[in-house]
Amino acid sequence: MSGRFLVTGAAGLVAFEATRLLLERGHSVRAIDRFQKGPRTDLDALAARFPGKLEIVASDLAREGSALRDERWESVFHLAAIVGVAYVRAHPYETLDVNLRSTLNVLDACIERAPGSLIFSSSSENYAAGVDARQLPIPTPEAVTLSVSDVQEPRWSYAASKIAGESMLFSAARESSFVPIVARLHNVYGPRMPPTHVVPEMLARCRAKTDPFPVYGPEQTRSFLHVSDCANALLVLHEKVQDKSGGIYNIGSGREVRIDALARMCFDVSGHHPNFDNRPHSPGSVMRRVPDVKKLESLGWKQTITLEDGLAECWRALAKG
């Protein structure tokens, strides 16, 4: 059965893919974005593919909520946020301002209009400090303490906004009837991702034939998930989490990969095999990150795209561009 959905941050990597999947399944979508980081070209192409099914709205949800007009949505995917370590460290107050105000405006609308559910994109950064302090298990499940290690470090403004967002979501749900769902995303990547994250950044250096090749924090580990698997997980949460108490779900890969191993994979898919230039990681960067995804898998979700295949896809898209 088709329904009406609201997706915020719809031009972004994850939100665009979620929008595409919803349209392919016969749903209608109102897609909101302020288009500060990129054009609406891809969304316009989607609208042409699905006439009458996709409504695109240019709006800054941190400043006004009229784009959340008086309508009841089957589900709201609140995926809009400022992301990216470099940008966050350079603009910590803006990060908090935009992420918190946009979330408050979305929640105010949902309290009033009660969609079926609200899925809030959160982050593995919320518990990163506990992992580094060796207070949390690895792989890390959902039921852990959330914290920031240094409130004066600019990069932690992002985690602070997401921790607050999770609390705001569950608090708002107590004043309405929607199902509150937190999706903690873990290093999602894909071919539309800008070169401000580790995977596209490495591939861009491969394309430029950089040698020696800078690798920051080569000893650190991450778990990488292709955006298609991430978007599928979001739709699974919408379909399967029906209890009014909602819940928190890790979305990521259970495969732990060292950053220097990721670099070698990028070398293999690109054919560029330079010398390593190992450099220190950025301040506040967690040493290890790998989620426990058994809770998500219990709903029937499975990762379908390997890191090797995903990197090859990203390389083909970059080379074509």
Predicted confidence band of residue 37 (pLDDT cuts 50, 70, 90): confident
Q: How does the average pLDDT of the chain come out, rounded?
A: 95
Is the peptide bond preceding residue 139 cis, with omega within 30 degrees of 0? yes
CB distance 191 to 314 below 8 Å: yes
pLDDT of residue 126: 97
Q: What is the pLDDT of residues 201-223, one digit of tens each?
A: 999 999 999 999 999 999 999 99
**Mean per-residue pLDDT, 249-253:** 98
User: Rounded to whole angstroms, how far apart are CA atoms 49 and 15?
Assistant: 17
> Over 90: is that where the pLDDT of 65 sits?
no
* CA 16 – CA 33 distance, rounded (Å): 10
Q: At residue 38, does pLDDT exceed 90? A: no
Look at residue 95 in the predicted model and tell me its pLDDT. Answer: 98
Residue 88, class by beta-carbon neighbours within 10 Å (0-12 exposed, 13-18 middle, 19+ buried)? buried
pLDDT at 311: 98
User: Residue 152 — very low, low, confident or very high, per pLDDT cuts 50/70/90?
Assistant: very high
206 in Cβ contact with 272 (< 8 Å): yes
Nearest to 17 by CA among 310, 257, 256, 262: 310
R_g of the chain computed on alpha carbons: 19
Mean pLDDT of 67-80: 88
In this predicted structure, the answer to whether residue 2 has a pLDDT above a threshold of 80 is no
Q: How many CA atoms lie within 13 A of 181 on its CB side?
A: 30
Quote the distance between the C-alpha of residue 269 and its chain's center: 24
Spell out the long-range contacts of 200-206 with Cβ–Cβ below 8 A and sequence spacing 24 or more.
200/314, 200/318, 202/262, 202/263, 202/266, 203/266, 203/269, 203/270, 203/311, 203/314, 203/315, 203/318, 204/318, 206/266, 206/267, 206/270, 206/272, 206/315
For residue 18, give both structure tokens: 């979620």
Q: Residue 105 is encoded by which pair of tokens? A: 């405006």
pLDDT one-digit tens code per residue, 75-120? 999 999 999 999 999 999 999 999 999 999 999 999 999 999 999 9
Instruction: For Cα atoms 178, 3, 75, give the angle at the middle one, nearest 5 degrees.
Output: 25
The string of DSSP letters for 105-120 reads HHHHHHHHH--SEEEE
In this prediction, residue 282 carries a pLDDT of 84
Residues 6+ apart with CB under 8 A from 139: 254, 256, 290, 291, 292, 293
Q: Which residue has the higher pLDDT, 67 or 187?
A: 187
The C-alpha atoms of residue 127 and residue 135 are separated, in whole angstroms, by: 10
- Residue ranges of domains in the chain, CATH in brackets: 4-190+225-252+290-303 (3.40.50.720)
Q: Is the bond preceding 180 in cis, omega lying within 30 degrees of 0?
A: no
